[in-house]
Amino acid sequence: MTGKQFYHLGFGQEDLGNSPPTIALLSGDPERARLIAQTHFRDVRLLSENRGLNSYLGYLANNRPILSATSGMGAPSLSIVVNELIQLGIRQIIRIGTCGSIQSHVSVGSIVISSAALCRQGAANDIAPVEYPAVADPFLTVALVKAAQELGVEHHLGITASVDTFYEGQERTDSANPYLMRSLQGITAEYRQLNILNYEMECGTLFKMAGVYQFAAAAVCAVVAQRTVSENIIYSQKDIAIENAIATAVRAVSG
């Protein structure tokens, strides 16, 4: 580590070398950030492991420098990481996440590429008004779709619901909370009728930040739960779904 470090990321500009990356792949899970770097980048260097926000610098096959970084779970943590990444010169961010499907045709094991997000997230309200659109970058999004097509990965393009909680906000009742507020009872069925594809916890705030800060953001999430059937995570298909999401994002930025 050299020079000024960002407080949360734990590394700084000088750690990125003479040809700093302008693109970052961003995962909620630090283990996914490590997996992406170690299996898809060459000449990988661990930049930091601060607060579980593991960050790796590496190169794509086309020699483009790239970061694999960790957002942590939820919009407040993501907002801090993204703010610091943008200060470091990152101009394109692809979130590689996991999600729960709320449509019967969006199966566990497939991936969802978000065209936009319904943003029910408190952190985003510190960045832009609630009505501000949470929309993905069209060019990165088309690149993700094209990559999924070329890889033969089952994919769905559409609107994502980004919420602040995994349990209450996604209408889970199998939880420590004995009372789900009336305002949340039935919300999943309503979102289904509104053609929302999936639940996750970061895209909406990421997309609003992209609009305000002027960078390009997109998201691809592995479907690991099917909420038309149960509240459970389907572990048997989790790893393959995540690998499909990672392969899709890496191919999209490798062209």
User: Among all residues, which ones are annotated catalytic?
Assistant: 8, 84, 172, 227
Binding mask 155-184 for ligand R1P (x = CB under 6 A): -----------x------------------
Residue 189 is encoded by which pair of tokens?
């069925």
Report the residue from 59, 132, 166, 213 that binds ligand URA according to the rule CB under 6 A: 166
Cα(144)–Cα(55) distance, integer angstroms = 22
Residues in the chain: 255
Q: What 3-state class would DSSP assign to 37?
A: helix
Under rule CB under 6 A, residue 225 binds ligand URA? yes
SS3 62: coil
By C-beta, is 167 or 213 nearer to ligand URA? Answer: 167
DSSP letters for 195-226: TEEEEESSHHHHHHHHHHHT-EEEEEEEEEEE
206 touches ligand URA (CB under 6 A): no
Pick out residues in 96-155 that bind ligand URA (CB under 6 A). 98-100
Contact region with ligand R1P (CB under 6 A), list: 38-46, 146-154, 184-192, 197-205: 197-205
- By CB under 6 A, name the one of 224, 242, 245, 253 that touches ligand URA: 224
Place of tokens 């909406």: 204
Task: Count CB neighbours of 29 within 10 A.
Answer: 18
Number of other residues whose CB lies within 10 A of the CB of residue 51: 16
Q: Is 30 exposed, middle or buried (0-12, 13-18, 19+ CB in 10 A)?
A: buried
Residue 75 is a binding residue for ligand URA (CB under 6 A) = no
Q: Does 73 bind ligand R1P (CB under 6 A)?
A: yes
Residue nearer to ligand URA on the CB measure, 143 or 225: 225
Shortest distance (Å) from residue 239 CB to ligand URA: 14
Q: Contact residues for ligand R1P (CB under 6 A)? A: 27-29, 73-74, 97-98, 166, 200-202
